[in-house]
Amino acid sequence: MEDNSEESTVSKSSSTVPTQEKSLEKKKEKARVSRTSLILWHAHQNDASAVKKLLEEDRSLVDASDYDKRTPLHVASLHGWIHVAKCLLDFGADVNAQDRWKNTPLADAEGARKHNMIELLKSYGGLSFGQNGSHFEPKPVAPPLSNKCDWEIDPPELDFSNSSLIGKGSFGEILKACWRGTPVAVKRILPSLSDDRLVIQDFRHEVNLLVKLRHPNIVQFLGAVTEKKPLMLITEYLRGGDLHQHLKEKGSLSPSTAISFALDIARGMAYLHNEPNVIVHRDLKPRNVLLVNSNADHLKVGDFGLSKLVKVQNSHDVYKMTGETGSYRYMAPEVFKHRKYDKKVDVFSFAMILYEMLEGDPPMSNHEPYEAAKYVSEGHRPAFRAKGYIHELRELTEECWAADMNRRPSFLEILKRLEKIKENLSPDHHWNIFNS
């Protein structure tokens, strides 16, 4: 009888080669995604030396792009970061790369009125194509909503005489003001950006979204100024401030308070995730959760500037959306990695908020936000330090921040489980935070 043992050994070892190759490819792809995130981040932060260092290590990153096909040069051009753009161009960046909307870096620079950047890009042969491009016939920008609506507010009705600044963003500011004698929160677009097509598009999107929302745990839309400048969005004013400030002052919450807060957030989110028109918040964090009053007995979810309304064909739809949307510390790993993701990104952020309410510290508080997101994307999670943890609550938190988004429960499921935990909670149950 012939001995085939040698042949069998050879075939076995050769069959492991494709597996090893696949594993190596996966590792390479993972490293590539991480470096893509880094170069886009450093370009956004105007850190030319960090961009240069990355390009010296890997020149191919010069035209790396996110899901919207936006390259580091697009990012630098939009912000007017000359040194970063010069560095990218010197490393051979494609000056006429086009993003998902067919915009070139020069079109972005023109849209943002970055005159020095416009000159630099033209000197490298930059052309202006895309929605913002001057090579296209400029069309007049339509007002956010053409029909006069019953929620359209006449600016003189708003009294800013005793207004105070509540918050500030890249597109505008949020002020406490008075409308027909009632305190309101007014998001006001900066006059300098009132003609910017993309800003108007985002504003229009947020108004269209808020008009449709009616829920006790969602900040209530009251009206908007869309026919005159500056454009303004008016919502109810909540006296209790935001959850971020509340946790900063109070530290860890009692189990019953944490569960009540979690129920309020989950109710608002279950409403947003209702099919077939799912609203993915994409920036769920303590700053965007508001307390109705100083007694902190009721919470509402707010700030829908980054939210996306998605018509769902079936419940397992996955959306191809912009990577790195939202706040790093509460960001789901699939977003950080620029992977396809769905509404379960909000469940992940909810888990991070739940952890913070129970522990008193932000998740990964010993890391900077970007580093925290990177650490989490590598599979790490915040450590539970509180003694006397309710097992079911810890279990729920861990499921909500599972790396596999399909393993995360829906908000309807979360509500059922929180209600059960609340029912079984002993009135004198408490825990203490300790530092090991």
What's the rounded Cα separation, in Å, for the pair 31 and 411?
A: 33
| Amino acid in position 263 | L
Q: Are strands 158-168 and 232-236 parallel, antiparallel or unpaired?
A: unpaired
Q: Which residues pair with 184 in a beta bridge?
A: 177, 236
Q: Which of 66, 99, 283, 303 is catalytic?
A: 283
Task: Specify the 3-state DSSP secondary structure of 242.
Answer: strand
Q: Which helix (H) or strand (E) holds 354?
A: helix 344-359
335 contacts 284 by C-beta, under 8 angstroms: no
The CA distance from 38 to 238, in Å, is 37
Q: Is residue 28 marked as binding? A: no
Residue ranges in 92-175 assigned as alpha helix (H): 105-111, 115-123
Residue 283 a catalytic site member: yes
Residues at the binding site for ATP are: 187
Which residues are annotated as catalytic? 283
Residues at the binding site are: 187
